[in-house]
């Protein structure tokens, strides 16, 4: 573990040689959320016309800006007939996850739902929960925020998620999602949705099992108390808190199995998108 905002020395073994390098650990973007600023979405086209997109974080409560960036990436990769979504190390985020999941299917289908303790104890019908099935990215942010606020602010936070129905893509049916033990929260929602609906092959290792939405308060001495405020379930009722999403193809990361710039996990994902068809 390295403290954020510090300089450290790392000893790196390269065969029989050991190299010492200095590394600056970035300062946190805020004291509430001690993570460094990450580039939310990056993409490229790999050999074999395989579209590749990495999403380590989904910033913003409503996620309007990151949703537009995801759309831009998808447009750049529109000609690809195969696709890999890299969610290894994904640290979570806001409602931009809806846009990410929506691109995985051409149809408008149920994803899952959150339910508060109050709603769970009083009884509920998941099909009658308030529905979130569209991010208003066609509007300027102030108008989009106002439209979302009118619908959801001040109400019980139990909500049903549906994909947006964004239409078919050339790579649908030939997709893989990379996950590992550091994939949490929104990343696990994406993996669970894809697995439950057979939208992509999950490759890597079991995710962290940290899916419950919560809020926190400072309690002093640098600590924060985080309390759960709702539970997330997939549409079929699966829960992943405490145990993560299981990969279809288990490929643990290993330093000994790195192949140039490609990890063994990425190599396995490339192999899957050339063979799988849903």
Strand order across the 42-46 sheet:
42-46, 50-54, 82-86, 175-179, 201-204, 249-250
Mean pLDDT of 7-11: 93
At 20, is the secondary structure helix, strand, or coil? strand
Query: What is the β-pairing status of strands 159-162 and 131-132?
Result: parallel
Residues 28-61 have pLDDT tens digits of: 877 666 666 778 999 999 988 999 999 999 998 8
Asked if residue 39 lies in contact with residue 65, where contact means CB atoms within 8 angstroms, the answer is no
The DSSP element (H or E) to which 38 belongs, if any, is none
Q: Are residues 101 and 155 in the same domain?
A: yes
Q: What is the CA radius of gyration of the chain?
A: 20
CATH code, domain carrying 176: 3.90.226.10
Q: Are residues 235 and 126 in the same domain?
A: yes
Residues 185-219 have pLDDT tens digits of: 999 999 999 999 999 999 999 999 998 877 788 89
Asked if residue 128 lies in contact with residue 99, where contact means CB atoms within 8 angstroms, the answer is no
Q: Are residues 20 and 71 in the same domain?
A: no
Residues 105-146 have pLDDT tens digits of: 999 999 999 999 899 999 999 999 999 999 999 999 999 999
Domain that holds residue 22: 1-35
Name the pTM for this structure. 0.85
- Could you give the number of structural domains in the chain? 2
The DSSP 8-state label assigned to residue 171 in this structure reads T
Asked if residue 181 lies in contact with residue 208, where contact means CB atoms within 8 angstroms, the answer is yes
Q: Which two tokens stand for residue 86?
A: 């890299």
Q: Are residues 118 and 236 in the same domain?
A: yes
Q: Are residues 121 and 85 in the same domain?
A: yes
Mean pLDDT of 159-183: 96
Q: Are residues 251 and 168 in the same domain?
A: yes
Q: Are residues 4 and 98 in the same domain?
A: no
The percentage of residues in the chain with a pLDDT greater than 90, rounded to a whole number, is 63
Q: Are residues 11 and 53 in the same domain?
A: no
Q: Are residues 16 and 109 in the same domain?
A: no
Lowest mean pLDDT among 32-46, 137-151, 156-170, 229-243: 32-46
Answer yes or no: is pLDDT of 92 > 80. Answer: yes
């Amino acid at each position: 573990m390295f403290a954020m905002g510090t300089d450290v020395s790392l000893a790196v073994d390269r065969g029989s040689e050991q190299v010492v390098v200095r590394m600056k650990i970035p300062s946190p973007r805020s004291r509430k959320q001690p993570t460094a600023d990450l580039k939310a979405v990056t993409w490229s086209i790999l050999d074999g016309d395989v579209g590749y997109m990495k999403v380590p974080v989904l910033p913003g409560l409503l996620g309007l800006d990151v949703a537009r960036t995801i759309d831009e990436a998808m447009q750049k990769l529109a000609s690809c007939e195969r696709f890999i979504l890299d969610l290894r190390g994904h640290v979570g985020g806001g409602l931009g996850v809806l846009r990410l999941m929506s691109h995985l299917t051409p149809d408008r289908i149920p994803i899952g739902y959150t339910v508060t303790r109050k709603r769970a104890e009083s009884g509920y019908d998941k099909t009658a929960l308030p529905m979130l099935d569209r991010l208003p990215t066609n509007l300027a942010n102030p108008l989009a925020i106002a439209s979302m606020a009118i619908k959801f602010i001040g109400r019980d936070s139990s909500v049903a998620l549906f994909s947006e129905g964004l239409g078919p893509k050339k790579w649908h049916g030939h997709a893989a999602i990379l996950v590992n033990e550091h994939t949490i929260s929104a990343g696990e929602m994406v993996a669970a949705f894809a697995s439950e609906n057979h939208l992509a092959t999950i490759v890597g290792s079991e995710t962290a099992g940290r899916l419950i939405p919560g809020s926190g308060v400072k309690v002093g001495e640098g600590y924060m108390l985080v309390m759960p405020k709702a539970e997330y379930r997939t549409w079929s009722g699966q829960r992943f808190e405490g145990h993560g999403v299981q990969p279809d193809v288990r490929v643990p990361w290993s330093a000994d199995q790195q192949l140039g710039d490609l990890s063994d996990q990425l190599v396995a994902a490339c192999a899957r998108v050339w063979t799988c068809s849903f």
